[in-house]
Structures are given as structure tokens and as C-alpha cells.
Amino acid sequence: MTKTRQGYLSYLLRLWFVRTETGWRWRASLENSRTGDSKRFDSLDQMSTYMVSEAEKTVGLEREVDAPGVDQKGGKDDE
């Protein structure tokens, strides 16, 4: 079983440029490095909105569960 850290997200980001009817556009995909799940996005704005949502969920988890090794400012405690 893989140990996960609270307050930590890791994704592989892929960006590419495509021609559309209205011009050239960026496309993106994110692959969760822990689960392998991937999501595709039609714009960088969509990808950014998704990442903000995921980050906020992670912060919510930290508030519910006292994550050992993390201080109140979000940094690592001295080991």
C-alpha cells in the first residue's frame, strides 16, 4: 500500500497546442501520480479551475485530520 501525505498533490501535466475553428488553442491533461487517473481539459482555464478545486479539497482534509509532520503554516516540521 502506498503511503500518502496530507496536503500534498502530485500530477504529471501535459500541454499541447491544437488548431480549432477559431484558431490555435492549448489543451491539457493531468495524470494523478498516486492513482494513475487522468483528466483532459479543453483549455488552460478549465485545468486551472480543476487544480484549485483539488487543492481546496486537500486543505479541507488537512483541517479535518491533523497531519503529522506538518506545521500550521503548511511546511514540514523539523525532523
More confident residue, 25 or 1: 25
Question: Is 36 a domain residue?
Answer: yes
Question: Is 64 a domain residue?
Answer: no
Contact assessment for residue 70 and residue 76, using Cβ atoms and an 8 Å cutoff: yes
Q: What is the pLDDT of residue 61?
A: 61
CA 63-31-39 angle, to 5 degrees, is 90
The range of the structural domain enclosing residue 16 comes to 11-50
Question: Is 79 a domain residue?
Answer: no
Q: What is the pLDDT of residue 16?
A: 97
Number of domains in the chain: 1
Is residue 3 predicted with pLDDT exceeding 90? no
Report the chain's mean pLDDT, rounded to a whole number.
Answer: 81
Question: Is 26 a domain residue?
Answer: yes
Question: Is 29 a domain residue?
Answer: yes
Q: What is the pLDDT of residue 60?
A: 77
